[in-house]
Structure 1
Amino acid sequence: MARVEILSPKQKINELITKILLFKEFEPEEPRMPISNIRFEDARRNLGEVNEHINKLKILMELGGLIIEPQGKMKINDWFDASNLVFEESSTIENKYKDLLEEIGKLRGELDTLNSQIKEVEPFKDIGIDLKILYSSSTFEVALAILDSNQKKEIENKEILVVSEPLENNKYACLLIGKKNSKLDELMKELGIRKFETPDLIAPQIYYNNLKQRIDEILVILTQKREELSKKIKEDEKNIKEIYGKLLTIRDAMNILSKARSSDYYVQVEGYVPEKSLKKLSKSLDNIAFLTYEYPKRYGEEEEPPTYVKLPKSIAPLESVIEFYGTPSYWEISPTVFLIITFPFLFGLMFPDFGNALILLLFSIWFYNYGKKRGSENTIKLSLVLVYSSIVAMVTGLLAREFFGPLPVGGLRELLNNPSAPVGPLYYIWPIPESVYQQISDIIPTGANAIINTILLSLLLGSVLLFVSTLLGVINAIKKKDKEYLLLDRLPLFIIYIVPLIVFTYGFTNISNYQGQEATLLGGISYFLFHSGSPAPLNVQILADILVVWVEIGLIYNWAAKAYLLKKHEHASIGSAIVFGFIEGGFEAALLLLSNTISFIRVLVFAIAHYYILYAFSYMAYLAAGNPTSLLSVFINPAGIVILIIGNLLAIALEGLIVFIQDMRLHFYEMFSKFYEGRGRKFEPVMSYIELTQ
């Protein structure tokens, strides 16, 4: 990223702004050394007005069911004249729908008021007697009220009869009855209790029915008015989208001008441009402006330059997951490069069912269209992340031979674990034949003998990802050019997390006996730590001893580093620095080493949970069909069909959401915390949203 200063003759200001907007890779900033204090004040005022018009048009498009997108073209001679003209066009279209929008607004306001009133009267809606009669008893003092548990207890202690009905949030709808002269009204006022009343003290039942009737009337009118508005807006769709595109372009032009400075002869514009685009910008501004630039330092700038990560459009949506954590600083490696592979991959491992993943894919496509219709970039990006993840889950589902549970492929043979039972209708046409499945069954979580292998493979996957994460942390520290950060924060973690990588890749020394090799090394580590059992063979035991000592040295290094940082930057005493340095750099780091690595077992756990939830519902469907010997009997049984549908819907909705969240958790807490700070700011260039002509 480069910071650019542009000087242009004042008479060429409109051409300059047009060129910058068409360039689409310039983010304007306030000049560091302005050529004057003269600003374009009209631009600053116009920014507020243009945003107001944009919001109104977005509301119109939402109400009309239009896709929120800019269209059209605009001829520019003067940007301020163009803005005034577009504001007039926008006001004209807004005024066209003003009366109808106001009418809908009033109806909405009345509806909100009525809903609030009906919510208040609802606890007493079954009382059919007029409150005028109820409250004017000559024998008792009577009141209706909503009490909390403390108020209810206080009232009961005053010898007032309380007939109550529990509500939500520890509240009660109560009928309070006291003897005459029990001063019930004064007691309620003292406890802050409001006596329930209706207009003219009519019966709550009548009042409730009147409210409900009026709400139903308003809903019918609102539906009619919305349909009328939607029809009219769709007739103006092209015009509205063209004005919307012009407004967005005017907004970005005013953004540039509001930060620019002007002298008698020149205009000064500053901002950030990607380094690779400097020549392109210089060429586009040739003959109308003079351009200078400088490159920011990697670290230590007073001003944080924006971060620009250029990704292919097909994978750019994955960046939206990163934004939940924070934008990378300009000196950091963007985690998006890391996430492109790991996020869909981990999701697919935890959700291996072709049928469920297919439904999730169809939902993602619908969600994408919904986001596009609403003009929500976040929804669009999130839906595309789900698309990629569900496609990978379809691949893992193919390998696992799972399609809405075990019945469609494995049939009763898989469900009952009976080789003589019938297979599913897809058994022989499944793209992954049984012979291939048997060859990879040892690493599929649902395989009979695969649990230990899949645990080890999950830990292997975790150790590799954690090692890569800490390595990226070291690289980022080098890019940051902060030696203290490198030597005392990132390097100790890198040293520690080398050990799990060595432990779980050791089995590849004899891949045909991977499980046995790992068991031997882990046994050697256990013997060194606890002196239980028998030592491993000498060469393996030596490696185990080295690895344990390696971790101990790494933890001591981390302890000393944290103590030094506490003493230097937090001004802690030597004793406090040693104690808290041990807690953070020794004890906590050791716990995280174990928990972060073991945490990847969840990849296996969710895959198993997904399979056996569908297995359980499939078995219930089998029982509901009466333990038949024919698979067809299960599929045509109404109860069995309902059970299978419910089971799959639960798996898709609940497990799909949980797996997505757990996938994010593995990235945010286990991996990103090792290398990613996310304290930067996103590059937000100005641009033209429509075709510009001069």
Structure 2
Amino acid sequence: MSLVQLYVPTEVSRDIIYKIGQLNLIQFRDLNSKVNEFQRSFVKELRRLDNVERQFNRFKKELDQRDIPVKTFPYESSPIVPQSDIDEHVENAQILEDRLLQLIDSTNSLYEKQKELKQFKATIQGVDNFFVVNAGPQSETSEESALLSQLESQAQEASHGSFISGVISREKVGTLQQILWRILRGNLYYHSEELAEPVYEVHSNEYVNKNSFIIFSHGAIIYDRIKKICESLDADIYDVDATVSLRSDQLAETNMKLADLSAVLTQSENALSSELIAISRDLAKWWEVIAREKAVYQSMNLCDYDDSRKTLVAEGWIPTDEISNLTTTIKGSDDSQSIPTIINVLETTRTPPTFHRTNKFTDAFQNICDAYGIATYREVNPGLPTVITFPFMFAIMFGDLGHGFILTLVALALVLNEKKLGASKHDEIFDMAFSGRYILLLMGIFSMYTGLLYNDIFSRSMTLFSSGWEWPEKFAIGETVLAKQVGTYIFGLDPAWHGSENALLFSNSYKMKLSILMGYTHMSYSYIFSLVNYIHFKSVIDIVGNFIPGLLFMQGIFGYLSLCVVYKWTVNWYAIDKQPPGLLNMLISMFLSPGNVAEPLYEGQASIQVFLLLVALICVPWLLLLKPLYLKRQLDKAAAEYQELPTDEDELEEGDAAAHDDDEPHEEHNFGDIMIHQVIHTIEFCLNCVSHTASYLRLWALSLAHAQLSTVLWTMTIGGSFGATGALGVFMTVFLFAMWFSLTVCILVVMEGTSAMLHSLRLHWVESMSKFFQGEGTLYEPFGFKNLIDL
């Protein structure tokens, strides 16, 4: 990475920054970090564009409410939009907003009038039902019928004001009844009916279920009190005539108004929909133009604007091999200008951002590592080995040819249709799977490979080659039968082990030791990466004080254990008539009783183990003391040189300026801080050698759990259908196959696959990357026009 400085003439600054944004190469530095955001040079332009984005957001909200899709456009190589077009977009956005608001307000007012008319109609019908239907002798007792007749006669005599009627939300009906009953002490008659259709509320943009009600009481003061209570519960009160003929006239008039209003409302809705459809066709294009313009001015606000010289000074990080591309692009833009843009490559002690060049295949693997931490500038990138080790660690735990084949088919479908799927919108879970489609593909392919090694396909075995074991032809029932070895199976696990009594014991021991070997190999090569970092950064003290003692400690204990595992496999213990020794007890006794070997594995084992133990013990103080003592000597030497510096204040200021390039902060440490840091490092390294090696046993545990769960699922579903015959057998086979396949996909592929993926992720983040990864970098985020809007 290089730090470049650009001197851009003001008259072409917008066009030059736009060209740089199209290149997507420069990460601009903020040269105005001490200036308030509201006092920068291009705040006025940004506020203007913010207002346009607010208007576009309003348009998008209205489109979403009416389910009108926004047409999208490709913008990979859009030319520079002239400033006059931007001004036109701003003016058009304001015109469209005013017109749209006018149409929306008009439509909402019509909806409000329609709601009032519908509620008034429902209230009239509710009053009619109360007086006409409920007053019949077939629905009421004689006492209630007399009461209703009395209420109707009183209402007709008093005309208006004899009862209160209206509409209230159905959720508040019970509350209204309780309040009225308590306040009026039961001196009222209340009747309520549910409205046949929900009522559309404009302010909340939703349909609400409501009830019509009618309330009888006596006294003007009480009626006023009832009205206030109803209004406090957001009820709408309407004046309904007491006589039947007048109510009929009100109902007819209301129906006529509703018909006229519906016709006007339909026309208004059509006009609003037409306007929104026209906006939806070009909204994405307009929004992209404004978003790019806003991004340009935001980047220009990071630059130093020299008003006296009419020059924009910009600084930013760029990959060194892209400087020529930047120069060519900017020089091409300067052909018609009298004052060219000047590009300088600066020498600096600042730490550049970390940039890893990726493609669509490696991007997902790099994101896995970046999620843990951004690599320090120019340290070993763990993303490259992760391309192979991550899916392979997953496959060790997920080893099954059938399950791996299903996963591979799913990943292939995503890969082969990536252009079509990438252009459409999906939910978050699908987007995660789609972004990691190449990870899924490798996970499936590696799982098929390890499934062949385990000789597992949906928990069944395959006989691809001749078995290396031969069973006797004659044996008695109940007799323990021993197979005779007649050769070696060419590839993977011999199918003769499937179904044998000691199959689980053999596979457990075999996979457990393979997990230890895999963990040792993974940690060892990861630890070698730390040597690569030390050599690159020319840190000899880290090589001598950290890498060498750490390597001797890890190899002397766990490298020795791994070598013993391999050696134990090479010995035919049955042929020499000896019991193979337990390696775990051997490792424990190596520390607890040095020099004593209860079950020797080879000659001279006691002496070698004592020697390795002494080497490991020497490595602990070596790790603990060498680097801190060396750094203490360097600090003392620097302090002595500082005392001999000249005392002239000007020279001191010049020295400080040279030592602190661009106000770069430097963290100071004393010997106590260094010693504490090294003690923590030593303790963590020694303990992690033990815990991390044991952590790789998850490869064995999850592989065993996956195989056993697959066996149980087969036995309890489709495995029990093969014994039935006839129509029942056909039905059982079809039904249990569907059950088996569904559970296999849901449980073994999706759930078990997710679990194995998370465990593989942990092995890379904790066990592997802790051996070399510093992760103190900052991500390279160049200025560009990708993903500015999300429609």
TM-score of the two chains, using structure 1 as the length reference: 0.65
Residue of structure 2 aligned with 1:253, choices 281, 296, 306? 296
Deviation per residue, 1:339-395 (Å, 9 max, x gap):
111111111222123443344456555697777534878664344433432343244
Residue of structure 1 aligned with 2:305, choices 239, 262, 277? 262
Deviation per residue, 1:499-520 (Å, 9 max, x gap):
4663366369869718989969
Matched, 1:614 2:682: no
Q: Percent identity?
A: 18
TM-score of the two chains, using structure 2 as the length reference: 0.58
Q: Secondary structure at the match of 1:441?
A: coil
The match for 1:289 is 341
Moved more, 360-369 or 642-651: 360-369
Residue of structure 2 aligned with 1:594, choices 671, 690, 702? 690
1:373 corresponds to which letter in structure 2?
A: S
User: Distance between the aligned counterparts of 1:481 and 1:289, measured in 2?
Assistant: 38
Label 1:648 to 1:316 Cα distance change in 2 as closer, same or farther (>3 A): closer
The match for 2:175 is 199
Deviation at 1:216, TM superposition (A): 12
Matched, 1:537 2:541: no
Matched, 1:457 2:457: no
Residue of structure 2 aligned with 1:311, choices 331, 348, 358? 358
Q: Secondary structure at the match of 1:256?
A: helix
Label 1:581 to 1:21 Cα distance change in 2 as closer, same or farther (>3 A): closer
2:25/2:319 contact within 8 Å kept: yes
User: Distance between the aligned counterparts of 1:588 and 1:444, measured in 2?
Assistant: 45
The match for 1:20 is 20
User: Distance between the aligned counterparts of 2:515 and 2:694, measured in 1?
Assistant: 8
1:318/1:340 contact within 8 Å kept: yes
1:346/1:663 contact within 8 Å kept: yes
Matched, 1:662 2:738: no
Residue of structure 2 aligned with 1:328, choices 375, 388, 406? 375
User: Distance between the aligned counterparts of 1:646 and 1:336, measured in 2?
Assistant: 34
Residue of structure 1 aligned with 2:322, choices 277, 280, 298? 277
Deviation at 1:659, TM superposition (A): 0.9
Q: How does 1:352-363 map to 2 (within 5 A)?
A: 352-361=399-408
The match for 2:778 is 681
Q: How does 1:5-16 map to 2 (within 5 A)?
A: 5-16=5-16
Deviation at 1:325, TM superposition (A): 0.8
Deviation at 1:651, TM superposition (A): 1.3
Q: Secondary structure at the match of 2:3?
A: strand
Deviation at 1:292, TM superposition (A): 1.0
Label 1:346 to 1:634 Cα distance change in 2 as closer, same or farther (>3 A): farther
Label 1:539 to 1:28 Cα distance change in 2 as closer, same or farther (>3 A): same
Moved more, 437-446 or 275-284: 437-446
User: Distance between the aligned counterparts of 2:40 and 2:346, measured in 1?
Assistant: 24
User: Distance between the aligned counterparts of 1:405 and 1:102, measured in 2?
Assistant: 68
Number of equivalent positions:
560
Residue of structure 2 aligned with 1:381, choices 407, 411, 435? 435
The match for 1:440 is 492
Q: How does 1:101-120 map to 2 (within 5 A)?
A: none
User: Distance between the aligned counterparts of 1:676 and 1:72, measured in 2?
Assistant: 36
2:81/2:289 contact within 8 Å kept: no
2:21 corresponds to which letter in structure 1?
A: L
Deviation per residue, 1:563-597 (Å, 9 max, x gap):
879999998989x979x976x45655433211201
Q: Secondary structure at the match of 1:305?
A: coil
Deviation at 1:533, TM superposition (A): 0.7
Deviation per residue, 1:447-479 (Å, 9 max, x gap):
763433322222121112111222223333454
The match for 1:130 is none
User: Distance between the aligned counterparts of 1:103 and 1:475, measured in 2?
Assistant: 70
1:546 corresponds to which letter in structure 2?
A: F
* CA RMSD after TM alignment: 5.5
The match for 1:189 is none
2:353/2:777 contact within 8 Å kept: yes
Deviation at 1:197, TM superposition (A): 11
Label 1:605 to 1:38 Cα distance change in 2 as closer, same or farther (>3 A): closer
2:442 corresponds to which letter in structure 1?
A: Y
1:638 corresponds to which letter in structure 2?
A: F
User: Distance between the aligned counterparts of 2:196 and 2:410, measured in 1?
Assistant: 36
The match for 1:41 is 43
1:28/1:255 contact within 8 Å kept: no
User: Distance between the aligned counterparts of 1:27 and 1:616, measured in 2?
Assistant: 56
Q: Secondary structure at the match of 2:492?
A: helix
Q: Secondary structure at the match of 2:313?
A: strand
Label 1:674 to 1:244 Cα distance change in 2 as closer, same or farther (>3 A): farther
Deviation at 1:532, TM superposition (A): 4.7
User: Distance between the aligned counterparts of 1:403 and 1:20, measured in 2?
Assistant: 54
The match for 2:147 is none
User: Distance between the aligned counterparts of 2:694 and 2:373, measured in 1?
Assistant: 26
Q: Secondary structure at the match of 2:8?
A: strand
Deviation at 1:310, TM superposition (A): 0.4
Deviation at 1:662, TM superposition (A): 0.7
Deviation at 1:10, TM superposition (A): 2.6
Deviation at 1:656, TM superposition (A): 1.4
Q: Secondary structure at the match of 1:285?
A: helix
Deviation per residue, 1:192-232 (Å, 9 max, x gap):
xxxx99532569xxxxx98999699999979xxxxx99999
The match for 2:590 is 528
Q: Secondary structure at the match of 1:676?
A: coil
Q: How does 1:403-552 map to 2 (within 5 A)?
A: 403-406=457-460, 439-441=491-493, 449-480=506-537, 492-499=549-556, 502-503=559-560, 506=563, 513=570, 525-529=587-591, 530=593, 531-552=596-617
User: Distance between the aligned counterparts of 1:76 and 1:669, measured in 2?
Assistant: 47
1:332/1:476 contact within 8 Å kept: yes
2:377 corresponds to which letter in structure 1?
A: Y
1:76 corresponds to which letter in structure 2?
A: I
User: Distance between the aligned counterparts of 1:293 and 1:443, measured in 2?
Assistant: 66
1:508/1:514 contact within 8 Å kept: no
Deviation per residue, 1:413-449 (Å, 9 max, x gap):
xxxxx999xxxxxxxxxxxxxx997631179998763
Label 1:40 to 1:237 Cα distance change in 2 as closer, same or farther (>3 A): closer
User: Distance between the aligned counterparts of 1:311 and 1:444, measured in 2?
Assistant: 46
Label 1:586 to 1:291 Cα distance change in 2 as closer, same or farther (>3 A): closer
2:722/2:733 contact within 8 Å kept: no
1:324 corresponds to which letter in structure 2?
A: A
Moved more, 484-493 or 665-674: 484-493
User: Distance between the aligned counterparts of 2:495 and 2:449, measured in 1?
Assistant: 15
1:555/1:589 contact within 8 Å kept: no
1:606 corresponds to which letter in structure 2?
A: L
Deviation at 1:629, TM superposition (A): 9.6
Label 1:378 to 1:442 Cα distance change in 2 as closer, same or farther (>3 A): same
Label 1:638 to 1:2 Cα distance change in 2 as closer, same or farther (>3 A): same
Deviation per residue, 1:125-150 (Å, 9 max, x gap):
xxxxxxxxxxxxxxxxxxxxxxxxxx
User: Distance between the aligned counterparts of 2:718 and 2:407, measured in 1?
Assistant: 26
1:590 corresponds to which letter in structure 2?
A: C
The match for 1:180 is none
Deviation per residue, 1:314-335 (Å, 9 max, x gap):
2122122123212222232222
Q: Secondary structure at the match of 2:378?
A: coil
